[in-house]
Each structure stands twice: as structure tokens, then as C-alpha cells.
Structure 1
Amino acid sequence: MSASLGRRRALTGAAAVTLGLPVVAACGSDSSGNGADTATGTRSPSSSRTGGTGSGGSAGAALASTADIPVGGCAVFEGESVVVTQPTEGDFKAFSATCTHQGCSVSSSSDGDIPCNCHGSRFSLVDGSVITGPATSPLGEVAIKVRGESITLA
């Protein structure tokens, strides 16, 4: 019986160490990890993940109508991990919705930038570059197509 308890303790310890590693890794510094804290203000339509920079997915997946994206703002599509922006009327851009600081999801906004509410980073609607840190790397660009009023992944 003592051999069984020893084995059980060893397995429990191994499980604790294995499960604890992702938690420690999530506390790392500026990186584009794929852990995602859900920030408020995001939207989640039902379709597959994006085919944008650094992520797998299916091209042609419908994201939104052009009317869903505010001029001077952005909308986050959590299921695809994509944020679509409209810096000026009729000009649509898309970026990874994962903040490059610590992997939180950025938030939808109509305030002229892409905010990450986890630690206060702000990104450009035009090119995804960092406006305000702590993030130091830009959001990755995601290819989209705008046809009429429909925005899809390219």
C-alpha cells in the first residue's frame, strides 16, 4: 500500500508541475503569445479562426458588414482573434486581436485607437503600431477583403 501512495504522490506532483507551467509562462514579458484574457467590449461571431499572420484558419470566412465597424474605431471578432478597423470612412484594415504585451485580447472601440484594457496598451487603427505601451511590438496584420458591404478573411 505504501508503494501505491508513493506513486500517487509522484503522479500528483508531476500533474501539478505540468499544469503550473502554462500559468508561469503566461506571466512572461512582451511577447505575442496566444494566451487570451477576454477583455470587455469584444464581439464573437461564429466562424473559424483567421488565416492572418501567425495564425491558422480558413480564408473567405465572413467577419462582418462594413456597417459593423465604426469610422475611427474598431470591432473585435473573438472567435477569429481578429480586430477590424476603419481609420477613415471606407478604409478597412485588420490585425491580430491578441495584444503583443501579454496575450490579452484587445477591445472594440470608437475612440480612434485599438485599446487593450488589460494593461493599457493602445495600437494604431492604420497599421497596428504601438501608440502607448507597455506593448512594444505592433499587432500582426491580417488579410481581409471588402466586397460591397461584406468583410471576409482573405
Structure 2
Amino acid sequence: MDRWIESVLFASRWLLAPLYLGLVVALLLPLAGFVHELWELINHLASATSHEIILGLLSLIDLSLIANLVLMVIFAGYENFVSKISVASHHDRLEWMGEVDFGGLKLRLIASIVAISGIQLLRAFMSVGDYSDRDLMWSTVIHVVFVASGVLLALMDYLTEKAHKLGH
């Protein structure tokens, strides 16, 4: 009975595969947003101020970071929780594939979230007239919370790794 339960539990990891495939499809959303933003930026380039160009570029960077974040979750999540991706000999294989554990994934995710939050905050401060002081304050607080969370996660991983080394 134990072996059967363990087999079912182990096989249940494949229930995650459709979620990762769904995220692959979801990558089309930031791609569509990127194409739209780029098209708008190009069409208004002649009349755009440098401020508007910078905001447009920040939007493009933001969408790129979001797509990178989704892709990172797809690859690392699939490899950590479902199955190894067998592309070791492929010339385009990403260097970090197969080497990012759950702790590394958490740190990469929080770093991406901090970067995205920072871009959003920069965008808000560049258009300070469009935001209330309250909105700017909360955006700043949220960004600081993300940064602090990242630092604390990194510290926890460092301490955990150090404890493992001392214990072994």
C-alpha cells in the first residue's frame, strides 16, 4: 500500500506540467504588450519628448523583465518539480538550466520583482504630477518591502547554507 501511495504522489508532479504549458502561452501577453508599446513609441517618436521616450523605454524594459520572470519560473519550476529538460547538448542551452535550485529560484524571482517594482517606481516619479503623494508613498513603501524581502531571503539562504556546511 505504501509503495502505491508513494507512486501516486510521485506521479502527481505531472499535474504541474499543464500549468507550465499555460505559462508558455501566457508569454504571449507580455509579447503582445511589448509589440504594442514599441509600435506606439515608434509612431509617436517624431513628436515625443525625451521624457515620453524614456517612459516608453521603461515600459519595454518592464515587459521584458516580466517575460524573463515567467520564463524563469517555467524552466526552473519544471526542472525542480516535474522533470529534467533534456537539452544538455543543445547549442542554445541556457547556462543556468539545471543548476537553479528552489532557493536560487526564489532569489532570482525576488530580484526580478524588485527590478520590476523599481521600474514602476521610476516611472511614477518621472510622472510625479500624475500621482498623488499617497500613491507615491505607497509605491515607495511597497518597493522597500520587496527590497527588504529580497535581502532577508538571501540572508536566510546564506545562513541555511552555512548551517548545512557546519553540520556536515
Q: Does the alignment reach a TM-score above 0.5?
A: no
Query: TM-score with structure 2 length normalisation?
Result: 0.21
TM-score by length of 1: 0.22
User: Which structure: greater strand fraction?
Assistant: 1
Question: Which structure has the highest helix share of the two?
Answer: 2
Bigger Cα Rg: 2
